[in-house]
Chains A and B, each alone.
Chain A
Amino acid sequence: MATYDLSIPISEQAVRALHVGDTVNLSGLMTTGRDAAHKYLIETFIRVQTVPESERSLYEELRQLLDGGIIYHCGPVVRQREGSAERRIPGQSGSERGQWEFVAAGPTTSIREEVYEPEVIAHFGLRGVIGKGGMGPGTLRACQEHGAAYFHAVGGAASLIANAVKEVVAVHKKDEFGVPEAFWFIRVEHFPVVVTMDSHGRSIHEEVEAASKAALERLIAG
């Protein structure tokens, strides 16, 4: 079990060097995204013939951010800085910069995104997702095929992780999806995670589940 410092975007070579149990400190730009965001990515960009005109600019921003990038399964508690709303330029992306701060930002349960994640990894060229609880065989296979990893943050460590979020760069779909479900583009420094699913087909979650199933059967048999 090794410790790595990785900057986003992450190369395929760097992610292939990771193995389950490794500790990684991530730095760079990423976006949060959970249930509504994943559904939106699939329905608006991936399983469509053409991207609607109204969503083109966000699509381009996401393509740039997610190529070699990370989606963080997180619905944060945020705080708006005093007087900052007046400085915002309506409709201009990025004008939210400095307007918001993350107060508490631990991971949410990832398995809900299992139906979407393999396609999102393939389409955008993600190098990983951060969440908690692990994901299923579809995501594990996508990590193998495309060169990505599942990074486990400590569930509930919300105030500590918020300290690693140095800047909220932009927010998209906040009014439509609500605060927890919006895309929050954030710059992080030394965000601590553990690799629990790697690009070599190993999953700590599968291994712990199998071992605990054996223990359960023994305890029930008494």
Chain B
Amino acid sequence: MDDMVESFVELIRRASTDLPPDVEAALQEARDREEPGSAATGALDTILENVAVARANSTPVCQDTGVPIFYVRHARELSTRQIRTQLEEAVAEATRRSYLRPNAVDPLTGRNSGNNLGVGFPTCHFEEWDDGGCGQALQVDLLLKGGGSENVGTQYKLPHPGLGAGRELEGVRRVVLDAVYQAQGKGCAPGVIGVAIGADRGTGYVHAKEQLFRPLGDANPVPELATLEQCLLEECNELGIGPMGFGGKTTVLGIKIGAYHRLPACYFVSIAYMCWACRRASLHLQGVGSKRMGRLNTADGDL
């Protein structure tokens, strides 16, 4: 297999030191909606200035570069073990270059490994895919998920008597509103909310995080979910928590909902809260393994 370590380092650098254009545009729109002179406007001005500084200096947008979460789709011919080894090499190198903070801590000893490598760290999900003959052998999507927002992620099991939330979309609406209320500004609002309905507990969280890769402006292909996403976007912003929890008109930038089949006995709603620094990036590689590595691009242009 080709050595892709340097491409993976560049993917990490892109994710850490810049924001996707749709997220930056949403922050700019949020800033223009807030009252002039308010703490909310001040916070959003600081955020936008920070993004510009990070991009210009190639330094992390946020010091909590989180846990790197890789979703890898690969052609049948590629070895997932080799891909994982190269991803790990890239993570250690990106840490050495200060694109990532060393974040892997042994829960028993409290020791930080120093290079972001540890047991189950970073997180890698693999899926073999059929590239449909378009020649893309490998796609790597990366999310840098910080700890502050991870701490406010949560999971509900319906029915939830306290919120009067039953096993239907109205129940989902209620628990998502509650989760955003409970988070207040602690997840670094305005956040992006990934929601998974159904599945088992573990799969629910994985699917909720997958939602965070969707562009903010897309429409859910399932009409009921598209309606719920739009409704919740407006209602979450009516909570008035605002940027950083200072109070204001923008509490969330987007709500993205997926649904998996559930067990008859279970109805989980899993919620992943992503901070405003929604650091995602993608890498498409063609012809991996053929020594004719082709086009390399990310969401915001060719590398």
Tell whether A and B belong to one assembly: yes
Q: Is the CB of A133 within 8 A of B245?
A: yes
Task: Say whether B298 faces chain A, with CB atoms less than 8 Å apart.
Answer: no
Task: Say whether A138 faces chain B, with CB atoms less than 8 Å apart.
Answer: no
Known contacts A23-B42, A77-B63, A180-B112; is A156 also within 8 Å of B245 by CB? no
Task: Say whether B228 faces chain A, with CB atoms less than 8 Å apart.
Answer: no
Produce 1/0 per residue, B240-281, CB < 8 A to A. Answer: 111011110000000000000000000000000001110000
Task: Say whether B185 faces chain A, with CB atoms less than 8 Å apart.
Answer: yes
Q: Is the CB of A178 within 8 A of B185?
A: no
Produce 1/0 per residue, A178-198, CB < 8 A to B. Answer: 111100000000001010100
Q: Is the CB of B62 within 8 A of A104?
A: yes
In the complex, 13 of the A-B residue pairs with CB atoms within 8 angstroms, ordered by the A residue number, are: A77-B101, A104-B101, A108-B147, A132-B148, A133-B185, A134-B184, A158-B63, A160-B49, A161-B50, A208-B247, A212-B181, A216-B181, A220-B164
Task: Say whether A14 faces chain B, with CB atoms less than 8 Å apart.
Answer: no
Complex CA gap A113/B217 in Å reads 38
Known contacts A77-B98, A208-B185; is A152 also within 8 Å of B46 by CB? no
Complex CA gap A220/B102 in Å reads 42
- In terms of DSSP, what is the predominant structure of the interface of chain B? loop
How far is the CB of B78 from the nearest CB of chain A, in Å?
A: 32
Task: Say whether A74 faces chain B, with CB atoms less than 8 Å apart.
Answer: yes
Question: Per a CB cutoff under 8 Å, which of A159, A209, A219 touches B50?
Answer: A159
Q: Is the CB of B54 within 8 A of A159?
A: yes
Known contacts A133-B186, A194-B42; is A156 also within 8 Å of B181 by CB? no
What 12 new A-B contacts, CB under 8 Å, besides A77-B60, A158-B54, A180-B102? A77-B98, A104-B59, A109-B186, A133-B184, A155-B188, A160-B53, A178-B112, A179-B102, A196-B246, A211-B247, A219-B238, A220-B177
Q: Is the CB of B59 within 8 A of A208?
A: no
Q: Is the CB of A132 within 8 A of B64?
A: no
- Residues of A with Cβ closer than 8 Å to B? 1, 21, 23, 36, 74-79, 103-106, 108-109, 111, 132-134, 152, 154-163, 177-181, 192, 194, 196, 204-205, 207-209, 211-213, 215-216, 219-220
Task: Say whether B151 faces chain A, with CB atoms less than 8 Å apart.
Answer: yes
Task: Say whether B196 faces chain A, with CB atoms less than 8 Å apart.
Answer: no
Q: Is the CB of A77 within 8 A of B103?
A: no
Specify which chain A residues have a CB less than 8 angstroms from the CB of B57 in the assembled complex: 159
How far is the CB of A5 from the nearest CB of chain B, in Å?
A: 16
Q: Is the CB of A74 within 8 A of B184?
A: no
Question: Which B residue sits closest to A79, measured CB to CB?
Answer: B98
Specify which chain B residues have a CB less than 8 angstroms from the CB of A159 in the assembled complex: 50, 53-54, 57, 59-61
Complex CA gap A204/B62 in Å reads 24
Complex CA gap A192/B39 in Å reads 12
Produce 1/0 per residue, B127-156, CB < 8 A to A. Answer: 000000000000000000011100100000
Question: Per a CB cutoff under 8 Å, which of B62, B110, B241 touches A212?
Answer: B241
Specify which chain B residues have a CB less than 8 angstroms from the CB of A196 in the assembled complex: 246
Specify which chain B residues have a CB less than 8 angstroms from the CB of A219 in the assembled complex: 177, 235, 238-239
Question: Which B residue sits closest to A179, measured CB to CB?
Answer: B102
Specify which chain A residues have a CB less than 8 angstroms from the CB of B148 in the assembled complex: 108-109, 132-133, 155
Complex CA gap A196/B43 in Å reads 13
Specify which chain B residues have a CB less than 8 angstroms from the CB of A207 in the assembled complex: 247
Which of B64, B114, B174, B181 gathers most chain A CB within 10 Å? B64
Task: Say whether B86 faces chain A, with CB atoms less than 8 Å apart.
Answer: no
Q: Is the CB of A208 within 8 A of B42?
A: no
Question: Which B residue sits closest to A182, measured CB to CB?
Answer: B112
How far is the CB of B169 from the nearest CB of chain A, in Å?
A: 13
Specify which chain A residues have a CB less than 8 angstroms from the CB of B105 in the assembled complex: 178
Produce 1/0 per residue, B81-124, CB < 8 A to A. Answer: 00000000000000000101111010000111010000000000
Complex A-B, nearest 9 residue pairs according to Cβ-Cβ distance, in ascending order: A178-B112, A104-B63, A104-B60, A159-B54, A160-B50, A155-B188, A133-B186, A156-B62, A157-B50
Specify which chain B residues have a CB less than 8 angstroms from the CB of A1 in the assembled complex: 39
How far is the CB of A24 from the nearest CB of chain B, in Å?
A: 12
Specify which chain B residues have a CB less than 8 angstroms from the CB of A211 in the assembled complex: 240, 247
Complex CA gap A5/B151 in Å reads 34
Specify which chain A residues have a CB less than 8 angstroms from the CB of B181 in the assembled complex: 212-213, 216
Question: Which B residue sits closest to A162, measured CB to CB?
Answer: B59
Known contacts A36-B110, A104-B59; is A179 also within 8 Å of B50 by CB? no
Q: Is the CB of B244 within 8 A of A154?
A: yes
Complex CA gap A52/B101 in Å reads 32
Question: Which A residue sits closest to B279, measured CB to CB?
Answer: A156
Specify which chain B residues have a CB less than 8 angstroms from the CB of A105 in the assembled complex: 63
